[in-house]
Amino acid sequence: MQIPHEVTARPDTGLYNAKLGIWLFLASEVMLFGGLFSAYIFLRMGAEDGYWPHGLLNVPVGAANTVVLILSSVTVVLAWASLKMRKFSQYKLWMGISILCGALFLIVKLAYEWPQKFEHFGAFIKKDAIAKYEPYLDNEGMKRKKLAPRVEVSGHLHEVTMTYDPKVWEGIVKEQETNLQQIDDRLKSGKESKSVTSELERDRKRIAAKLKEMPSVKLENFLPKHDLEIAKEGGHGGAAHHDPSVQTIHSTKMHGSERAGVTPATAEKLEKLPGLKLVTFELGLDPINADPTNPESDKPHFWYKGSTKTHGTIQRQDVESWSAFAPKHSPYFAVYFTITGLHGLHVLAGVLIMLYFWLPVEGGANMFKRNPEHLANRVEVVGLFWHFVDLVWIFVFPIFYLL
Amino acid sequence: MSQSHDHGKEVAHGASHDSGAPADHAQHDMHLGLYWGIGGVLVVFTAITVWLSYVDFDKMFAGHGWNIIIGMIVATFKVCLVGAIFMHLKGEKPLVWKFLYFTLFFVAGLFFLTLLHYVDPIFGTTHAHH
Amino acid sequence: MSTAALTHAHDAHAHDDHHYDPGFWRKWVFSTDHKMIGIQYGVTGLAFLMFGFMLMMVMRWQLAHPGEAVPYIGGLLQTLFGSSAFQSDAKGIPGVLTADGYNSFGAMHGTIMVFFGIVPVAFAAFGNFVVPLQIGAIDMTFPRINMASFWCFFISCLFMLVSFVVPGGAAKSGWTSYPPLSGIADLGPLNHVFMNGQTLWVTGMVFNITASLLGSVNFIATIIQLRAPGMTWMRLPFFVWAQFVTAFLLLLAFPPLEAAGVMQLMDRAFDTSFFMPTGLIVNGATTQWSGGGSPILWQHLFWFLAHPEVYVLILPGIGMVAEIIANNTRKPLYGYKAMVGAIFVLGFLSFVVWAHHMYMTGMGAKVSAFFQVTTVMISVPSVILVTALMLSLWGGSIRFTMPMLFATAFLPMFGIGGLTGIPLAFNAVDLYLHDTYYVIGHFHYVVAPGTIFAIFAGVYYWYPKATGRMLNEFLGRMHFWGSLIFINGIFFPMFLQGMAGVHRRWYDGGAAYEQIIKPVIHWNNFMSVSAFLLGLAQIPFIINFCWSIWYGRKASDNPWDSTTVEWDTPTPPPHGNFTKEITVYRGPYEYSVPGADKDFTPQTEAPKADKPHSPTPPAAAPAH
């Protein structure tokens, strides 16, 4: 059974099936990315002054990736033209280059751009505490220059200090033990109906398993050791704590004699642990916070600058929200990671499909001998998809990297 | 340019009217240069986009959001080039264009109608900055 | 039916059909045959319709008897759905629906009925089975993508089903899943990061949407590319038009919701703040979110889909009813061209009315006015459609076959649903009626006695083509009258309750507000009893559906004496659909043509030789 118009065009539409199909698919893709871009516009319009970051991405790298995609767009259309001219070896060459370009784009994204973001640290300062950080922010100057206020201190996280109160942890363990005891009592009473009994037994199993997993109160047992070394100032507690059992901890990872810094991810894990409370962040400030009065800091830079050696300290209690430059950092990074992530998935899909058409397999390059027109159609269709991916990036690059 | 046959309107569909023979060589050879040229133009305009983003148009035009408008105009121009030449939309069948008109209309609706919330808020609590 | 005039078309396929034997798995499970995929969609969808209805019956028990254990099956329900949805009452009798359970069941009832029941049956099942047959195609354009669509849908079904049994129970933020509620629901130390109700819901929806997109690309491509010779645009049966417009709605409206679904998934799994506003406080504590997001953004993206979705639910139904009315009045549809025009205008306008679901979000008067105007405008094409269908009855000698009973009942029921929607279009009225039972009554009249009746009509109409057997008439009539009476018993009192101010999400049926809604609260019991009786009325249908597959009266190839092409194949149709070349010579509804030798002239019947004619001036109208 042969579906009509698989290879040749239907006269009244002038299109073969797959070409019609891909255009319909692209129409829905326009709506998909349209939804995401409209979310971008909506969130950016709704952002309070100063809360939409600028200049946090690496422009030269983004621009280079743009060029890579443009190049691959040229080569993929050349690959199709080669097939139309029935020049097989040229097809293999151009298609091969397109695949490599796509792969290069992904590698830059996944191995360089994204990881860098996850290492970087930013903290939005609470509105009522923002004056305390004037040396890092220079909002007086920003006001004078009629620019949006600065509300974030960012840089490379070196150290966090925190307090540890073992009693909190003990309390949690005790609570679970009490729960377990209550269940046991109810089970022993024999008054419960059959379905309730089976449910209680299920709960019992779950809690018992959880208790078994819970480490003992000793701090060393549940800190993520591999990531940091602990310098304890046991006993005396920080300014906020007068309880002698509360310990203050400096967490930092030493690399030889250098402080290599604790990653934001580790700090996040620590903050979630019961009994642990972050007190301060110490960081190597970004240029904008290290030298806020410099007019150069008012606008984004072309060349990416890492954080400086200038140290800054932020109190956790002054911070509204903090994180790595990860999706949760702000709506800006949320929409950046979502759009570039989805775009990346499209690139990956495109690369895989092109690879399939390039490899000497039945539905791929081997088709050239049997039905070269069909292969040319396939390449045209994946080409249309690939150009669309390029086209999305042409919008992504300015709206995230530049504007 | 892939299907350059000029079909009459009143043609019944048939399974095998096209022999699948290679299309006109000269025509494609001619296009190869065009494709490279367009690629070059796109690269140049990428550079221009980057450069333009460091020019302070808001100061120049004493307004707000000019950089965004200009950046989007350049991006749209690039996208049109990709669409017209690489995706062969120039000279594409009317059916494809019809899909695109519809889609662009709806995507514009999605963009602009959602923003009406900022144009005419009832509580005045939303911030319409940049 | 001559094939002599044929000089072209797919000759390749006609020969190898007899030897087609793909083996068990490829035939029944991983089939690429559009008919099998249609049946798979249909059976899955019908099962979900039943499941969704059962959820509602439990809720209706709770509304009529708040706090009382569900009789007979309470223990079973508690075992199945766990302690988050059901608890024992003071006496230890299991089976009292909890507040969380009520919310879960409500949210899942809506989701399942819309996305897992009606769309799969009305659009995917009938579209898959009928459309290629009606246009004389041997299959869908992309059979493998068609299979992928079904299995994507199947995966989404599994997500939804599994979500009922994870700790915390299924999603409970309404079928609209409004944040910030949906952003914080089911998150916490007791819930798994991924295996929790709301996250499974949103993941399931992403799969469901993907399935719909794959399906709609296929439908549009099939209708454009695979029409048989002579099947010009204006010779398409109206059902095909309805499916065509519906597919476009799905294709273009669903992706923004897919985007929104991905964003909600990000909010839940990676703590982003797409929809989380600044300074959100939950249980007295500030939250982990950075803030800066907007719950309104979700509403926009959701309703950008969900309003066109309303037409996705109803248009295939109207298409089926149109086919059945033309067939059973034995006359052409009244105003076929106007209907085609209307359905396009309807599809077009349905994209620019969505914010009428959001009058309560603080839109200003100007924006409200815009959406009010578009909303009122969209009633014009809807009225054209219904009026044309009603006028089609005029002067016909109506055969009240089973499909026709349901189709005629559809008209007034859909009419009630549509007309009660008009007040809701106006901001001032909606501010009062928003989220009351009036709204529930309105849209249920559209989709329950509306679309679901159309689905039943379609099942009775095309069942013989799919199985080769007729459904039993007696059981069918029991099913019909029971359904018609009791479904009105459920939904009509909703208007009364809604106008008295009964809110749609009260878990106790309004007992807490009894003083205010005293005059209408007694309807709860009446509606619930109606719901249970409606459940009983479905039993004849279920028996009929299963029994007739093997023991029903054998059907001829064209049991309804119909004109359209799907009846021009063997029953059930073989792989490849047709045993002869299909060429279409005439419009879809040539019933009772004066001078014809019988009261229907199939589309494939060549004009008589003695008349002057030009054989096959087919194809060629430009596509829309």
Which residues of A are less than 8 Å from B70 in CB distance? none
Residues A66, A209 share a domain: no
Of C225, C149, B106, nearest in space to A20 by CA: C225
Of C510, C469, C474, nearest in space to C402 by CA: C474
Given a cut of 90, whether residue C487 has pLDDT beyond it is yes
C350 C-beta neighbours (distance < 10 Å), count: 22
Asked if the Cβ–Cβ distance from B56 to A299 is below 8 Å, we say yes
Residues A128, A233 share a domain: yes
Task: Confirm or reject contact between B101 and chain C (CB < 8 A).
Answer: no
The answer to whether residue B19 is domain-embedded is no
Task: Confirm or reject contact between B16 and chain A (CB < 8 A).
Answer: yes
pLDDT of residue B21: 46
* DSSP result, C59-102: HHHHHHSTTPPPTTTHHHHHHHH-TTTEE--TTS-S-EEPHHHH
Residues A319, A252 share a domain: yes
pLDDT of residue C81: 93
Cα separations (Å) of C233 from A11, C226, C238?
Answer: 15, 12, 10
Asked if the Cβ–Cβ distance from C622 to B121 is below 8 Å, we say no
Asked if the Cβ–Cβ distance from C370 to B116 is below 8 Å, we say yes
C522 C-beta neighbours (distance < 10 Å), count: 11
C28 C-beta neighbours (distance < 10 Å), count: 12
The answer to whether residue C245 is domain-embedded is yes
pLDDT of residue A246: 66
The total domain count for chain A is 3
- Segment C260-267 shows an average pLDDT of 96
pLDDT of residue B60: 87
The set of residues, in sequence order, having a beta carbon less than 8 Å from that of A306 and lying 6+ positions away, is A156
pLDDT of residue A219: 64
Residue A60 belongs to domain with CATH number? 1.20.120.80
The answer to whether residue C83 is domain-embedded is no
The answer to whether residue B47 is domain-embedded is yes
* DSSP result, B8-34: -SS----S---------HHHHHHHHHH
C178 backbone dihedrals φ, ψ, rounded to 5°: -65, 130
Distance in Å, alpha carbon of A342 to nearest chain B alpha carbon: 18
Residues B107, B69 share a domain: no
Residues A161, A303 share a domain: yes
Residues B125 and C295 sit within 8 Å (Cβ to Cβ): no
Q: Who among B10, B14, B117 is closest to C620 (CB)?
A: B10
Query: Residue C180: is the preceding peptide bond cis (ω within 30°)?
Result: yes
Q: Who among C17, C141, C271 is closest to A328 (CB)?
A: C271
SS (H, E, C) chain A: CCCCCCCCCECCCCECHHHHHHHHHHHHHHHHHHHHHHHHHHHHHHCCCCCCCCCCCCHHHHHHHHHHHHHHHHHHHHHHHHHHCCCHHHHHHHHHHHHHHHHHHHHHHHHHHHHHHHHCEEEEECHHHHHHHHHHHCHHHHHHCCCCCCCEEEEEEEEEEEEECHHHHHHHHHHHHHHHHHHHHHHHHCCCCHHHHHHHHHHHHHHHHHHHHCCCCCHHHHCCHHHCEEEEECCCCCCCCCCCCCEEEEEECEECCEECCCCHHHHHHHHHCCCEEEEEEEEEECHHHHCCCCHHHHCCCCCCCCCCCCEEEEEHHHEEEEEECCHHHCHHHHHHHHHHHHHHHHHHHHHHHHHHHHCCCCCCCCHHHHCHHHHHHHHHHHHHHHHHHHHHHHHHHHHHHHC
Given a cut of 90, whether residue B56 has pLDDT beyond it is no
Angle between helices C514-521 and C523-551 (to 10 degrees): 50
Instruction: Supply the DSSP symbol for C597.
Output: S
Q: Among all residues of chain A, which has the CA nearest to that of C230?
A: A12
Query: Residue C316: is the preceding peptide bond cis (ω within 30°)?
Result: no
Which residues of C are less than 8 Å from B18 in CB distance? none
Which residues constitute the domain of residue A345? 17-120+330-402
The total domain count for chain B is 2
pLDDT of residue A231: 55
Instruction: Supply the DSSP symbol for C450.
Output: I
Given a cut of 90, whether residue C46 has pLDDT beyond it is yes
Q: Which residue of B17, B98, B111, B113 is the best one to mutate when testing the C interface, meaning the one whose CB has the most C CBs within 10 A?
A: B113
The answer to whether residue C122 is domain-embedded is yes
Instruction: Supply the DSSP symbol for C436.
Output: B
Mean pLDDT, 10 residues at a time, chain A of 403 residues? 92 95 97 96 91 92 96 97 94 97 97 92 94 94 92 90 81 88 88 76 84 70 55 46 60 55 79 83 92 86 86 93 94 97 98 97 94 96 98 96 91
Reported confidence tier of residue B80, pLDDT bands at 50, 70, 90: very high
Given a cut of 70, whether residue C13 has pLDDT beyond it is no
Asked if the Cβ–Cβ distance from C352 to B122 is below 8 Å, we say no
Predicted ipTM?
A: 0.93
Indicate yes or no: pTM above 0.95. Answer: no
Residues B79, B52 share a domain: yes
Residues A236, A130 share a domain: yes
pLDDT of residue A229: 55
pLDDT of residue A233: 52
C555 vs C553: CA distance, rounded Å: 6
pLDDT of residue C10: 42
Q: Which residue of B110, B119, B122, B127 is the best one to mutate when testing the C interface, meaning the one whose CB has the most C CBs within 10 A?
A: B110
Note the Cα B115 to chain centre separation in Å.
22
Distance in Å, alpha carbon of C145 to nearest chain A alpha carbon: 11
Given a cut of 60, whether residue C613 has pLDDT beyond it is no
Task: Confirm or reject contact between A45 and chain B (CB < 8 A).
Answer: yes
Task: Confirm or reject contact between B12 and chain C (CB < 8 A).
Answer: yes
The answer to whether residue C93 is domain-embedded is no
Asked if the Cβ–Cβ distance from A302 to B50 is below 8 Å, we say yes
Residues B85, B99 share a domain: no
pLDDT of residue A203: 82
Touching subunits for chain B (3+ Cβ pairs under 8 A): A, C
Given a cut of 60, whether residue C156 has pLDDT beyond it is yes
Domain boundary among A324, A353, A385: A324
Instruction: Supply the DSSP symbol for C354.
Output: G
Residues B109, B81 share a domain: no
Cα separations (Å) of A143 from A55, A146, A147, C245, C586?
Answer: 20, 5, 6, 55, 76
Residues A320, A291 share a domain: yes
Instruction: Supply the DSSP symbol for C116.
Output: I
Residues A146, A28 share a domain: no
Q: Among all residues of chain B, which has the CA nearest to that of A94?
A: B32
Residues C10 and C578 sit within 8 Å (Cβ to Cβ): no
Size of interface A-C (CB pairs under 8 A): 179
Chain A segment 301-360 residues within 8 A of C by beta carbon are 320-321, 323, 326-331, 333-335, 337-338, 342
- Segment C52-81 shows an average pLDDT of 95
Of C111, C314, C317, C336, nearest in space to C237 by CA: C336
Residues B107, B75 share a domain: no
Task: Confirm or reject contact between B2 and chain C (CB < 8 A).
Answer: no
Task: Confirm or reject contact between A45 and chain C (CB < 8 A).
Answer: no
Residues A317 and A162 sit within 8 Å (Cβ to Cβ): no
The set of residues, in sequence order, having a beta carbon less than 8 Å from that of C518 and lying 6+ positions away, is none
Task: Confirm or reject contact between A11 and chain C (CB < 8 A).
Answer: yes
Q: Which residue has the tokens 């092109």?
A: A354
Asked if the Cβ–Cβ distance from A328 to C272 is below 8 Å, we say yes
Residues A154, A104 share a domain: no
Asked if the Cβ–Cβ distance from B12 to C230 is below 8 Å, we say yes
Q: Who among C13, C266, C293 is closest to A43 (CB)?
A: C293
Residues A262, A231 share a domain: yes
Touching subunits for chain C (3+ Cβ pairs under 8 A): A, B
Residues B117, B84 share a domain: no
Convert the pLDDT of each residue in C300-323 to its tens digit.
999 999 999 999 999 999 999 999
Asked if the Cβ–Cβ distance from C83 to A199 is below 8 Å, we say yes
Residues A260, A180 share a domain: no
Of C162, C230, C241, C296, nearest in space to C3 by CA: C230
Domain boundary among A292, A324, A356: A324
Residues C229 and B12 sit within 8 Å (Cβ to Cβ): yes
Asked if the Cβ–Cβ distance from B28 to A81 is below 8 Å, we say yes
Domain boundary among A324, A348, A367: A324
Q: Who among B20, B22, B82 is closest to A73 (CB)?
A: B82
Q: Who among A30, A59, A85 is closest to B50 (CB)?
A: A59
Of A353, A357, A342, A354, nearest in space to A389 by CA: A342
Reported confidence tier of residue B123, pLDDT bands at 50, 70, 90: low
Residues B40, B84 share a domain: yes
pLDDT of residue C15: 45
Residues A151, A276 share a domain: yes
Reported confidence tier of residue B19, pLDDT bands at 50, 70, 90: very low
* DSSP result, B15-84: S---------HHHHHHHHHHHHHHHHHHHHHHHHHHHHHTS-HHHHHTSSSHHHHHHHHHHHHHHHHIII
Reported confidence tier of residue B16, pLDDT bands at 50, 70, 90: very low
Which residues of B are less than 8 Å from A12 in CB distance? 7, 9, 11, 13
The total domain count for chain C is 1
Which residues of B are less than 8 Å from C297 in CB distance? 114
Residues B99, B43 share a domain: no
pLDDT of residue C624: 46
Which residues constitute the domain of residue B48? 28-92
Which residues constitute the domain of residue C540? 37-66+98-276+288-568
The answer to whether residue C200 is domain-embedded is yes
Chain A segment 6-25 residues within 8 A of B by beta carbon are 7-15, 20, 23-24
By percentage, how much of chain C surpasses pLDDT 90?
A: 83
Task: Confirm or reject contact between A52 and chain B (CB < 8 A).
Answer: yes
Cα separations (Å) of A336 from A103, A341, A396, B127?
Answer: 20, 8, 9, 21
Give the three-state DSSP class for C308.
helix
Given a cut of 50, whether residue C16 has pLDDT beyond it is no
The answer to whether residue C372 is domain-embedded is yes
Q: Which residue has the tokens 């089975």?
A: C129
- Segment C72-77 shows an average pLDDT of 94
Residue C342 belongs to domain with CATH number? 1.20.210.10
Cα separations (Å) of C200 from A150, A213, C106, C156, C176?
Answer: 39, 26, 16, 9, 15
